[in-house]
């Protein structure tokens, strides 16, 4: 009698409701190291029952200490960014959990396959961006030439800029933007977020000072309620970041609602990350 045919596991995508459970409960198998990452980042597969996916596992043991982020861990902040994104309903951060793995506790995030050719950033000649683009600032373009760095006037990027303002993202680079074939956009690498001091550093300054769209205001109201002391988001964030960082997040949401505008660059912190990509 022949053995029963083995049914291959079903691949899980970022939009699958089972993705977070798979990341939290599945068996992690390390396949290789992502060498361009500044901290230890391992490419893995995760399997559980009849489901499987590729993921990134960043163990806390592989983190480099940061003097200006002395509390908590990068991994905890990455998971916290996902929890905030999940409440917005925009789903801009891939499913992410904090869990034990082969090298101890760490962040586990679903791997995102990007779509080639989706242009979100560009260097252009002249002093003004063309139609469909927003200016970031001037940058060296090589051989002594200065060009204007611009980003697309894209609703997905605008939503991400609001999320970054809420989580106080200190490192929104071009390489952290992942457009996909189905038209979605994901942001990754949220280890330097949630600081109690203003450290917003991003390439997405194109809407600075402009009124927030009504969609964003509705999302901020939702976040405000979820961040109440007994709110569900406060409960989800409590194991991941400090009480002071949760209070600061709540204050940033309230400030955005009070101003009704996108934040503008500060003067006591570099406004644009380097390198920008």
**Structure confidence by residue, pLDDT tens digits, 137-186:** 877 666 667 888 899 999 999 999 999 999 999 999 988 999 999 999 99
CA distance 119 to 122: 7
pLDDT for the residue numbered 128: 87
Cβ atoms of 75 and 37 within 8 Å: the answer is no
Across the beta sheet with 146-152, the strand order is: 121-124, 146-152, 133-140
Q: What is the dihedral of CA 240, 242, 248, 254, to 10 degrees?
A: 50
pLDDT for the residue numbered 5: 47
Of 171, 172, 170, 130, nearest to 147 by C-alpha is 130
CA distance 149 to 249: 29
Cβ atoms of 57 and 28 within 8 Å: the answer is yes
List beta partners, residue 47.
27, 52
pLDDT for the residue numbered 82: 98
Task: Encode the chain (277 residues) as per-residue pLDDT tens digits.
Answer: 344 444 456 777 888 888 999 999 999 999 999 887 778 899 999 999 889 999 999 999 999 888 888 888 999 999 999 999 999 999 999 999 999 999 999 999 999 999 876 789 888 887 888 899 999 887 766 666 788 889 999 999 999 999 999 999 999 998 899 999 999 999 999 999 999 999 999 999 999 999 999 999 999 999 999 999 999 999 999 999 999 999 999 999 999 999 999 999 987 777 888 766 6
Cβ atoms of 78 and 107 within 8 Å: the answer is yes
Q: What pTM was estimated for this model as a whole? A: 0.92
Tokens of 114: 């990007």
Tokens of 16: 């699958």
pLDDT for the residue numbered 143: 67
The 3-state secondary structure of the chain reads CCCCCCCCCEECCCCCCCHHHHHHHCEEEEEEECCCCCCCCEEEEEEECCEEEEEEEEEHHHCCCCCCCCCCCHHHHHHHHHHHHHHHCCCCCCCEEEEEECCEEEEEEECCCCCCCCCCEEEECCCCCCCCEEEEEEEECCCCCEEEEEEECCHHHHHHHHHHHHHCCCCECHHHEEECCCCCEEECCCCCCCCCCCCCCECCCCCCCCECCHHHHHHHHHHHHHCCCCCHHHHHHCCCCCHHHHHHHHHHHHHHHHHCECCCCCCCCCCCCCCCC
pLDDT for the residue numbered 269: 73
Cβ atoms of 163 and 84 within 8 Å: the answer is yes
CA distance 208 to 20: 33
pLDDT for the residue numbered 244: 97
């Amino acid at each position: 009698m022949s053995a029963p045919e083995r049914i291959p596991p079903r691949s899980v995508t970022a939009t699958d409701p089972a993705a977070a459970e798979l990341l939290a409960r599945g068996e992690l198998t390390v396949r290789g190291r992502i060498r361009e990452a500044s901290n230890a980042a391992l490419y893995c597969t995760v399997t559980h029952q009849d489901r499987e996916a590729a993921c990134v596992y960043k163990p806390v043991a592989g983190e480099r200490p940061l003097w200006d982020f002395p509390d908590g861990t990068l991994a905890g902040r990455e998971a916290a960014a996902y929890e905030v994104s999940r409440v917005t309903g925009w789903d801009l951060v891939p499913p992410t959990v904090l869990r034990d793995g082969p090298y101890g506790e760490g962040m586990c995030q679903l791997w995102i396959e990007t779509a080639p050719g989706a242009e979100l950033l560009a260097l252009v000649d002249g002093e003004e961006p063309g139609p469909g683009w927003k200016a970031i600032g001037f940058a060296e373009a090589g051989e002594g030439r200065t060009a204007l760095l611009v980003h697309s006037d894209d609703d997905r990027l605008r939503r991400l800029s609001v999320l970054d303002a809420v989580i106080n993202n200190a490192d929104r680079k071009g390489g952290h933007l992942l457009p996909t074939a189905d038209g979605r956009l994901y942001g990754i690498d949220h280890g330097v977020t949630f600081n109690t001091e203003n450290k917003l550093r991003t390439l997405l300054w194109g809407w600075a000072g402009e009124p927030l769209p009504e969609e964003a205001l509705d999302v901020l109201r939702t976040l405000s309620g979820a961040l109440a002391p007994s709110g569900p988001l406060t409960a989800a964030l409590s194991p991941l970041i400090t009480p002071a960082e949760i209070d600061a997040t709540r204050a940033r949401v309230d400030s955005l609602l009070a101003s009704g505008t996108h934040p503008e660059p500060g003067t006591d912190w570099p406004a644009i990350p380097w390198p920008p990509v």
